[in-house]
Amino acid sequence: MWSPGPRPLKLIYMTDRSFELVCEVEPPTRPDLRHVRHQIGTLSKIAHSFLIPDNHIGRATVSSVAVAHEVQKMGGRSIACINSRDRNLLGFRRDLLTAAAYGVDQFLFVYGDKPTSGNRTSDLTVRSMIEEVRSLGEDPAFAQTPAFRVGTAAGLRPLPAWKRTADFMFVQVSFSVEALLRWREANPVDLPVYAGVMVIASENHARRLADAIPDIDIPAGLVERVASDRLAGVEAACEQVLRIRDSGAFDGVHLIPVARYREVESRLSGIL
């Protein structure tokens, strides 16, 4: 029988904001939004907002701004991810204008994974994208546009000072609640911080992650359980979500359910 597991020790830093679940959706790699609409419709029962990746793992997908607009049309809150890898300044301003026209006002800025085709542009960094957005208050083109909220991603290492200027922060996926709590106490910031939690869908999925993200530590025991039980990764992720919530140290979780979004919704519905 599935249970939330033991509560982690509470640390010195505690948040007084309400706990939120930010669910990541798989954006389409073809010009068809039916699957992403199904994810949104299913996860809307538990999600406070949705994160839309931007050409994640180096594959071309439908624009994150366009999918974020689709989320809002369905009554949800959205965060459009934008990577610096694929853009020069002109392309970035195009995305901001498009977002303003669509009413998309929240972004997560990231560096971007190694592309599977083409080269990485060096015109922008996450830091320069944040600075560009902060300067829009003086730009006549955005005079009638509400200010954008921008977030950044953080690894489990000392936090650079410039990342503290963001409006919210996503911490990298970790399979250790204790490691997340140690990082949280060592890096106190007065802004919403969301811990990364991912469902391991299969043994092959675990191998691909380990190859793509060298510093990710996937417990061998979890990989073994997933190899014999396709739902073991769902159980582990849901348990981790509840342990993070009960710790009181984070404002929420950035949950990546991959293809198991139906099972995740079924287990977390009514619990959170």
CATH at residue 184 = 3.20.20.220
Q: Is position 239 within any domain?
A: yes
| Residue 186, in any domain of the structure | yes
* Residues in contact with 185: Cβ distance below 8 Å, sequence separation at least 6, in sequence order: 11, 12, 13, 249
Mean pLDDT (whole number) for 128-139: 96
Amino acid at 2: W
Flag whether 6 is in a domain.
Answer: no
| pLDDT, average across residues 14-19 | 82
**pLDDT of 117 strictly over 90:** no
Helix/strand/coil for 196: strand
Residue 192 lies in a domain: yes
What is the residue range of 71's domain?
A: 20-268
Residue 10 is assigned to a structural domain of this protein: no
What Å distances lie between residue 66 and 61, 101, 167, CA to CA?
Answer: 11, 11, 22
Distance of alpha carbon 47 from alpha carbon 73, whole angstroms: 16
pLDDT at 55 (0 to 100): 82
| Residue 8 covered by a domain | no
Q: What is the DSSP letter of 114?
A: P
Whether the pLDDT of residue 261 is over 90: the answer is yes
Q: How far apart are CA 173 and CA 240, in angstroms?
A: 11
pLDDT over 90, % of the chain? 80
DSSP three-state, residue 128: helix
Instruction: Answer with the residue of higher pLDDT: 11 or 131.
Output: 131
User: Within a domain: residue 3?
Assistant: no
CA nearest to 97, candidates 130, 62, 143, 59:
143
Cα distances (Å, whole numbers) of residue 192 to 43, 153, 253? 21, 12, 10
With beta carbons less than 8 A apart as the criterion, state whether 143 and 136 touch: no
Q: Who has greater pLDDT, 120 or 214?
A: 214
Average pLDDT over residues 44-49: 96
Q: Give the model's confidence band at 119: pLDDT under 50 very low, under 70 low, under 90 confident, else very high.
A: low
* 11 found inside a domain: no
164-212 pLDDT tens trace: 999 999 999 999 999 999 999 999 999 999 999 999 999 999 988 888 7
CA distance 151 to 40: 21
pLDDT of residue 174: 95
Task: Count up the domains in the chain and report the number.
Answer: 1
